[in-house]
Amino acid sequence: MSLEVKVPVVGESITEVTIAKWLKNDGDRVEMDEVIAELESDKATFELPAEGAGILRLVAQEGDTVAVGALLCRIEPNGEAASAPASAPAAENAQPATAPAQESGAGETVEMIVPTVGESITEVTIASWLKNDGDHVEMDEIIAELESDKATFELPAEATGTLQIVAQAGDTVEIGGMLCKIVAGAGGTSKAAAQPAAPAAQQAAQPAAATSGAQTYASGTPSPAAGKILSEKGINVSDVQGSGRDGRITKDDAQNAQAKPATKASAPAAKQENASAPAVTGDRNSRREKMSNLRKTVARRLVQVKNETAMLTTFNEVDMKPIMDIRAKYKDKFKEKHEVGLGFMSFFTKACTVALQEWPAVNAQIDGTEIVYNDFCDVSIAVSAPKGLVVPVIRNAEQLSLDGIEKEVIRLAKKARDGKLTIEEMTGGTFTITNGGVFGSMMSTPIINAPQSAILGMHNIVQRPVAINGQVEIRPMMYLALSYDHRIIDGRESVSFLVRVKELLEDPMRLLLGV
């Protein structure tokens, strides 16, 4: 009996994952605990080990979004798959006589239906057919691209034979609905029969395709990686020549592509035709991109927080001169001793942990009809990563020294930018700090990171005139914003918390003395 490998439970609140890559092919032999796939959630990327030894049979394909607990693949014991390798030499030796054999199998039809692609997905749209009706297709060859409201994924052929398309490009088909049929051995030219003439045909076809401009469904279509690179470069897909299968634009094509200068050839004619219209100069291009799983999840959670919490924001400002003086005086010795720079984040994190212990409601959260108070401070630090905003957690920050906090910030930020954060490193925080000041933000109202109840927003440091002991002085000032859930945190607690953070930052000696 084959062993079923399902999507494991990978973390709190994660209900689905996307298959980023299969590291083994269908029919390959795998060993116990061998890594066979890479899975992606909206928070992290992780590896899938084989749960037994045997022959791998894929059920879900690369790009599919699969619910936790859903079937990914099966692993068959060696005995069930023994006939496949044994028959391979015979099939190779019988290649010259393949055509008659296929004719004898004509009429056997495989009906391909829309597979189950993820939780709550009830229908898909056929983005494009990569093969035409009547074409010969091989087993596991990609024949179409399907789109759901969560992901785009490829459809492999489930048999070798002639393709008969049932649903057309652009059609929306329900899960289980028929997409096409594959008639084994009927019509089309088999791969084995055409093999002797393949080299000559390829040599003749390549120049012909270049001059004739023949198009297929895949022509000019970028792969996901290529599409991302082209969008970052601001290059139109139509300006790139694809070198992949059927003219598909590959990652290398995108990396080598150069933006074309705007043409002005038709300017005189355009002026005559549109003499009465207002002049429009410059490019007016626009493009559409699919939202990533991470961006979809962030969008859903932010709207959920806005709808389900009584969120308020209170503001204050901090004179940063005392901290800046300490950094200027001791930063070299600090780095020499601790091998890490002395930044602002350690001061803010330390000040917040002191204030959180004095005002525990800011460090609490609502769970149903109960309030959960925490005697520890797991501080989440918002980090801008290539795939989007992630929030790794510094565990027991109240027990760490300034150098310990700096080391954790650097470690987690580096893993975030490399895409190596684990689920455990991004869950379970009790309070969040976000620093929009690094991008130049002067003032903002950060949104709470659910299920937490409060978030502190840091902003840029600006030289402003302030009154100091009856005298006007120019000081480096920063605005602070505390967004909080008014259901659990009252105005007195939120304002007092922020004032306490201000006191600790403006007199850093308090942090060392604990007063």
Cβ(377)–Cβ(351) below 8 Å: no
308 and 377 part of one domain: yes
Structural domain of 22: 1-93
Q: Name which of 443, 209, 423 is nearest 315 in CA terms.
A: 443
- Cα 301 from Cα 293, distance rounded (Å): 12
Which CATH number does the domain housing residue 209 bear? Answer: 4.10.320.10
| HEC sequence for 41-84 | CCCCEEEEECCCCEEEEECCCCCCEEECCCEEEEEECCCCCCHH
pLDDT for the residue 453? 94
- Using DSSP bridges, classify how beta strands 71-76 and 3-6 pair: parallel, antiparallel or unpaired: antiparallel
pLDDT tens string, the chain, 515 residues long: the values are 778 888 888 766 678 888 888 999 988 888 888 889 888 877 677 788 888 888 998 999 888 888 888 888 998 886 444 444 444 444 444 444 444 434 434 458 888 888 876 655 677 888 888 999 889 998 888 999 887 755 667 888 888 899 999 998 878 888 888 899 998 865 544 444 444 444 444 444 444 444 444 455 456 777 666 777 777 777 887 778 777 766 778 777 777 777 665 544 445 554 555 555 567 777 888 888 877 777 777 788 888 888 888 999 999 999 999 999 999 999 899 999 999 999 999 999 999 999 999 999 999 999 989 999 999 999 999 988 777 778 999 999 999 999 999 999 999 988 888 888 888 888 889 999 999 888 889 999 999 988 899 999 999 999 999 999 999 999 999 999 999 999 999 999 999 999 999 999 999 988 877 77
End-to-end alpha carbon distance in the chain: 67
- Using DSSP bridges, classify how beta strands 431-435 and 454-468 pair: parallel, antiparallel or unpaired: parallel
Sheet arrangement for strand 178-184: 108-113, 178-184, 161-165, 136-137
127 and 154 part of one domain: yes
Strand intervals (E) in 369-450? 370-372, 379-381, 383-385, 388-390, 393-394, 431-435
Cβ(56)–Cβ(27) below 8 Å: yes
Residue 291 in domain: no
Residue 288 in domain: no
pLDDT for the residue 278? 66
114 and 60 part of one domain: no
490 is catalytic: yes
Which residues touch 245 (CB under 8 Å, ≥6 apart)?
218
186 and 226 part of one domain: no
- Cα 368 from Cα 476, distance rounded (Å): 43
Q: Name which of 136, 179, 176, 188 is nearest 160 in CA terms.
A: 136
Q: How many domains does the chain have?
A: 4
Options 171, 252, 332, 486, the catalytic residue: 486
Residue 337 has phi, psi (to 5 degrees) of: -80, -45
Which residues touch 116 (CB under 8 Å, ≥6 apart)?
70, 175
> What pLDDT, in 10s, does the model give residues 206-222?
444 444 444 554 567 77
482 and 363 part of one domain: yes
42 is catalytic: no
311 and 395 part of one domain: yes
Residue type, position 323, single letter: I
> What pLDDT, in 10s, does the model give residues 321-344?
999 999 999 989 999 999 999 999
pLDDT for the residue 95? 45
Residue 262 in domain: no
Residue type, position 463, single letter: Q
- Buried b / exposed e over 98-127, threshold 16 CB at 10 Å, is beeebeeeeeeeeebebbbbbeebeebbbb
pLDDT for the residue 38? 85
Q: Name which of 399, 397, 479, 406 is nearest 430 in CA terms.
A: 397
135 and 222 part of one domain: no
> What pLDDT, in 10s, does the model give residues 389-436?
789 999 999 999 999 999 999 999 888 888 888 888 888 899 999 998
Which CATH number does the domain housing residue 173 bear? Answer: 2.40.50.100
- Buried b / exposed e over 333-342, threshold 16 CB at 10 Å, is ebeeeeebeb
Q: Name which of 177, 173, 162, 58 is nearest 109 in CA terms.
A: 162
212 and 328 part of one domain: no
pLDDT for the residue 199? 45
Options 33, 171, 332, 490, the catalytic residue: 490
Residue 274 in domain: no
459 and 390 part of one domain: yes
